[in-house]
Amino acid sequence: MNAFKTLWAVATKELVEIFRDRKILINGLLLSPLLFPVLILGMGSLAENRARTQLESPLKLPVVNADVAPNLVAFLATQNIVVEPAPADPDALIRRQDKDVILRIDEAYAEDWRASRAATVEILHDSSRQDSQIPVRRVEVALEAYSQQAGAMRLMVRGVDPSLGTAIRATYRDLATPEAKRGMALAFLPYLLILSAFLGGAYLVMDATAGERERQSLEPLLATPAGRGAIMSGKIAAACAFGMLGLLLTLLSFKISFGFVDSGPLKGVDVSMLAVAKLLLVLLPMVLLGTTLLTLISASVKTLKEAQSYMAFLMLLPILPTIILLVNPVKNALWMFATPFLAQNQLILMVLRQETITPTQWGVYLAAGFGVGALLWGIAASLYHREKLAISA
């Protein structure tokens, strides 16, 4: 009971102190809920507008040797493609990013065409530029359509049914639900939520140990009869409460923001209160993991600045699952739900896609998550029991 009273007293003291600091309160609890939705919805709107512009506006296409293929040039005009005069140096134009795509028609095009041979055209583009993908694809689609049309006419002239050249016709039936498709558009959201959970209480927990040690206010606290483990647990509990409050405000801001989306891939996203509760449960072990790890770091350094120097490295940890899945996509397996950061990434996507999380998956995840948190708590507690922790740097 005394340990619980100590924990409660320390946690209350830390929360009262941090809520007195308006700058920390604004930066920790208000900026993320406001900036994250603006960032995500703004990026989505920009990407949608750019794609719509590139798809619907006339495509200006410089064509080299356009005079040898007048029928092809006329067909391109019917596909909302405006043919422009050939530039002097097409390659340099692409490298300077003055043009997204240029079409070069082979000089032997007319000869090959009259001989019913495959005539050659070359599409010049820079594959490393993402903004050129849509224009290049538009040119490819137009050339494929013209090729199929001309090939069918050649067969018909020779009395051959064009359909004889097609032995199999593949059709597609997409079984992805609208929720799953919207989940793909939100593939970047897990990183933001995991990062917020992992480092949401960073300032509080570092200041409560490394900061107080540097200010020489930790030594009197540790000199009291209260158990050091209870004192440390109170600081961790305060940081967890602060981090969970920030997460709740962030999730509620997403819920409200998605209600204003009326177009694009994020249209129709419904973050229900049940989904918000599931996401909070998913992120709770990550909050504990982050605060205990930061407590461990803070108890092993001498100054607050030294503790803050670890932040650059810690911010990279939540992005590891995204990199791994990008390079090597894998299907969900039970071991993934026991792997920190990867488990949160998969579970958040499952919640957003409205997929069912089985009791076994919940059990493995929560056991592993709280188990790692307990392990880090034990290591941090051992550091808190060192006598030199009470001595300021």
Average pLDDT over residues 249-275: 73
Number of domains in the chain: 2
Residue 138 is part of which domain span? 55-165
- Say what the pLDDT of residue 1 is: 47
Q: Which residue has the tokens 């997929």?
A: 355
Domain-terminating residue out of 165, 189, 218: 165
Same domain, 350 and 257: yes
What DSSP assignment string belongs to 45-56?
Answer: HHHHHHHHHHHH
Q: Is residue 170 part of a domain?
A: no
- What percent of the chain has a predicted confidence (pLDDT) above 70? 84
| pLDDT surpasses 70 at 28 | no
Give all strands (DSSP E) within the chain, no chain letters: 59-64, 81-84, 101-105, 121-125
The three-point CA angle 199-200-205 to 5° equals: 80
pLDDT at 10: 84
Q: What is the per-residue pLDDT across 317-346, written as a single tens digit (0 to 9) for each?
A: 888 776 777 677 777 788 889 988 889 988
What pLDDT shows up at residue 358? 92
- Residues 107-129 have pLDDT tens digits of 898 888 888 888 889 999 988 88
Separation of alpha carbons 116 and 53, rounded Å: 37
Whether residue 75 sits in one domain with residue 17:
no
| Residues 73, 197 within the same domain | no
Same domain membership, residue 64 and residue 92: yes
The residue to which tokens 């209350």 are assigned: 12
Q: β-strands 81-84, 101-105: how paired?
A: unpaired
Whether 184 has a pLDDT exceeding 70, the answer reads: no
Do 207 and 323 sit in the same domain of this protein?
yes
Question: E strand or H helix at 249, and its extent?
Answer: helix 228-258
Report d(CA 94, CA 100) in Å as an integer.
6
Same domain, 199 and 142: no
Distance separating alpha carbons of residues 9 and 226, to the nearest angstrom: 11
Residues 40 and 59 in one domain: no
CB of 208 closer than 8 Å to CB of 297: no
pLDDT bin (cut points 50, 70, 90) of residue 270 is low
Q: What is the mean pLDDT of residues 123-151?
A: 88
Instruction: Give the Cα separation of 99 and 106 in Å (integer).
Output: 20
Regarding whether 151 and 214 lie in a shared domain, the answer is no
Is residue 126 domain-shared with residue 11, that is, in the same domain? Answer: no
**Paired tokens of 190:** 């897990």
Domain final position from 131, 165, 199 = 165
Average pLDDT of every residue of the chain: 82
Q: How confident is the model at residue 51 (pLDDT cuts 50, 70, 90)?
A: low
Instruction: State the DSSP string of 65-104.
Output: TGGG-HHHHHHHHHTTEEEEPPPS-HHHHHHTTS-SEEEE
- pLDDT of 215 above 60: yes
Give pLDDT tens digits for 276-300.
899 999 999 999 999 999 999 988 8
Among the candidates 120, 138, 165, a domain finishes at: 165
Answer yes or no: is pLDDT of 308 > 80: yes
pTM score: 0.71
Higher pLDDT, residue 283 or 33: 283
pLDDT band at 200 (very low <50, low <70, confident <90, very high): confident
Query: Which contacts of 83-89 are long-range, i.e. CB under 8 A and separated by 24 or more positions?
Result: 84/60, 86/62, 87/62
Structure tokens at 63: 């064509």
Q: Do residues 281 and 314 both lie within one domain?
A: yes
Query: How far is Cα 19 from Cα 11, in angstroms, rounded to an integer?
Result: 12
pLDDT surpasses 70 at 65: yes
Q: Which two tokens stand for residue 344?
A: 């949160």
Q: Are residues 155 and 220 located together in one domain of the fold?
A: no
Cα–Cα distance measured from residue 191 to residue 100, given in angstroms and rounded to the nearest whole number: 32
Quick one: 116 and 202 in the same domain? no
